[in-house]
Chains A and B, each alone.
Chain A
């Protein structure tokens, strides 16, 4: 029993498609079996809402009179790239403000724009024959911008590390404050709702896949940076540590502040909570089997962030059900846990996406090009070595 994208889209078009969230699908599969669930359900929706540093937006401001070739650009005192055409820029989510540091950064500017707030734009340029203006100081809103679109080079990590700290002092990390002597553990995945954990072999998620990005309909644009399909996997073929990633694109003008929230991690920096959701067609029983996996079936690897090196020591594996119980056992010690990825918002995203599909606002497309697959010789993320020109 296999279904094609075309058959599923035809059902969506006539309103006959059965759509469930990954949690609902897992419950159905537990009650009535994977085969039955695979037959009955056409689309399973997923969602995740965690801090995703590799995010940002492209803007085109339009031309002033006389025009300026913007070189040094700030938006609410947060530097944006001057390395594009005269009035194009890219603002990275983690860029800190020149005046407020990490308490306000690129992500906060993007959130303010989504909320309809005016942002102060200041820029200077060299003054050329075609762009004589050398300075500009003005205010812009999202509506004023010609184009504004999110382009996030790495989102929706397929699984993530569980962080602990074996050291004897508190450390501040991008996974939050880690208390000394294994005082706590933090983790960052939507678990059973996570998009790439539901399609672990990237059979339906690839370049061109339509998805939910920060409340807007968007697309998977490319493999994400540090995409690593050859990460260790369990018996279900699901990675047990950070593996696949996607780059996504979406119109910022259609985004919602409910699904894009700026973040500041004390002692670390700025980031952005980004909501990502992907609908997965239930093509066959193999895919249904991974869609039916629950937090009790999915595991993550515990890493010691007390060791500030590229390769941190692994201290074992735990299930997401254990992590969600509030405590895990590491080296014989009960360690309290806390998440950084919002489960309530992940559920809202999966529900919202379900509504989009049911209301026929969202059909599914097969990948235009697959993401690099496991065991096909995809290059593993390479380290950066420190060397001189002569050593190359």
Chain B
């Protein structure tokens, strides 16, 4: 089993086919929409986590590209501004997947991006507005 995070760009005229449905049905993949911004007549974007056999993932990506989507590996789109952060730790109190945690010894903030589900709870909670999510 593999797991990838994809950044999908939808052209303004696409979105006739429910692509995540086809990823499940035709390729037996497990898609997880982390973030999406799709509006009629505009270019849309979706941050999609996909799990399944490596081969099926590659086939699924080829399907998405055939449908006119641009597929690229998800860039680091959640950012912690360490200059602004005062390491208060409040973000760790709202981070359900435990992606943000304080080191037991040093009390330094540790951010495990792989565990992040882009729920934005930390973005809203951070009193320093040090966490930002792009797109």
A residues engaging B (CB < 8 A)?
Answer: 49-51, 103, 176-177, 179, 184-186, 261-266, 271, 273, 324-326, 336-345, 347
Within 8 A of A (CB), among B65-84: none
Within the assembled complex, what's the spacing in Å between the Cα atoms of A341 and B101?
14
Residues of A near B102 (CB, < 8 A) are 324, 326, 339, 343
Interface string of B80-117 (1 = CB under 8 A from A): 00000011111111100000011010111000000000
Is B127 an interface residue, CB under 8 A from the partner?
A: yes
- Ordered by A's residue number, 24 sampled pairs between the chains whose C-beta atoms are within 8 Å are A50-B88, A51-B88, A103-B129, A176-B90, A176-B94, A177-B121, A177-B124, A185-B93, A186-B90, A261-B86, A262-B128, A265-B127, A273-B86, A338-B90, A338-B93, A338-B94, A339-B102, A340-B89, A342-B86, A342-B88, A342-B107, A344-B87, A344-B107, A344-B108
A313 to chain B, nearest CB (A): 20
Residues of B near A339 (CB, < 8 A) are 88-90, 92-93, 102
B residues engaging A (CB < 8 A)?
Answer: 86-94, 101-102, 104, 106-108, 121, 124-125, 127-129
Within the assembled complex, what's the spacing in Å between the Cα atoms of A339 and B121?
15
Within the assembled complex, what's the spacing in Å between the Cα atoms of A33 and B102?
30
* Residue of chain B at shortest CB distance from A272: B127
| A337 in contact with B87 (CB, 8 Å) | no
| A176 in contact with B106 (CB, 8 Å) | no
Residues of B near A326 (CB, < 8 A) are 92, 101-102
Within the assembled complex, what's the spacing in Å between the Cα atoms of A324 and B89?
11
| A273 in contact with B93 (CB, 8 Å) | no
| B91 in contact with A338 (CB, 8 Å) | yes
Within the assembled complex, what's the spacing in Å between the Cα atoms of A273 and B84?
12
* Residue of chain B at shortest CB distance from A268: B127
Residues of A near B107 (CB, < 8 A) are 342-344, 347
Given A179-B94, A344-B106, verify A263-B127 contact (CB < 8 Å): yes
* Residue of chain B at shortest CB distance from A51: B127
| A264 in contact with B106 (CB, 8 Å) | no
| A340 in contact with B108 (CB, 8 Å) | no
B94 touches which of A184, A262, A347 (Cβ 8 Å):
A184
Residues of A near B87 (CB, < 8 A) are 342-345
Residues of A near B121 (CB, < 8 A) are 177
| B128 in contact with A261 (CB, 8 Å) | yes
| B129 in contact with A264 (CB, 8 Å) | yes
Within the assembled complex, what's the spacing in Å between the Cα atoms of A345 and B108?
10
